[in-house]
Amino acid sequence: MGSTFHVTEDGKISDGHHTFEELYEYRLLYNAALFNTWARLGLYGVHKSRFHHDGTVPFGDPKWFIVVAELPTGQILNHYRVTDWRLFKILERDLPNVYDGHTPAVVAQRLTDFLSGNY
């Protein structure tokens, strides 16, 4: 089952149900809700930072930040726009945990294992 994408009349990429922008917003909001819950419960070392672990600015642009969680299955993180900083009511750190070199595929497996209880 493959995905079919098209460009809407207003120039946005869509899968026929949602635009890329809508899906990005959903990801942001789901992630904020989850990380905020984990932070409230004191789970998984959730934190945010305006820098990477080595002190560099994400994408070389101060308009981005990262959020990090250390699951039992391994580290997960995402980058978001600074305009969304307030959505993440989690610990702010000058420098986040050291990036462990994971790829998107590794994060997907870590999340799958976490959801399956495989840790």
Q: pLDDT (tens digit, 0 to 9) for every residue of the chain, 119 residues total?
A: 456 866 656 655 656 666 778 888 999 999 999 999 999 999 999 999 999 999 999 999 999 999 999 999 999 999 999 999 999 999 999 999 999 999 999 999 999 999 999 88
Q: Please report whether residue 1 resides in a domain.
A: no
Euclidean distance between CA atoms 113 and 58, whole angstroms: 28
Q: Please report whether residue 29 resides in a domain.
A: yes
Whether the CB-CB separation of 50 and 62 falls below 8 Å is answered with: yes
Q: Please report whether residue 108 resides in a domain.
A: yes
Query: What one-character DSSP code corresponds to residue 71?
Result: E
Q: Please report whether residue 83 resides in a domain.
A: yes
Q: What is the number of structural domains in the chain? A: 1
Q: Please report whether residue 95 resides in a domain.
A: yes
Euclidean distance between CA atoms 77 and 105, whole angstroms: 13
Euclidean distance between CA atoms 15 and 21, whole angstroms: 11
Which of 66, 35, 36, 69 has its CA nearest to residue 50?
66
pTM of the model: 0.84
Q: Please report whether residue 62 resides in a domain.
A: yes
Which of 37, 29, 22 has its CA nearest to residue 89?
37
**For strand 13-14 and strand 74-81, is the pairing parallel, antiparallel, or unpaired?**
unpaired
Domain housing 39: 6-116
Q: Please report whether residue 68 resides in a domain.
A: yes
Q: Please report whether residue 45 resides in a domain.
A: yes
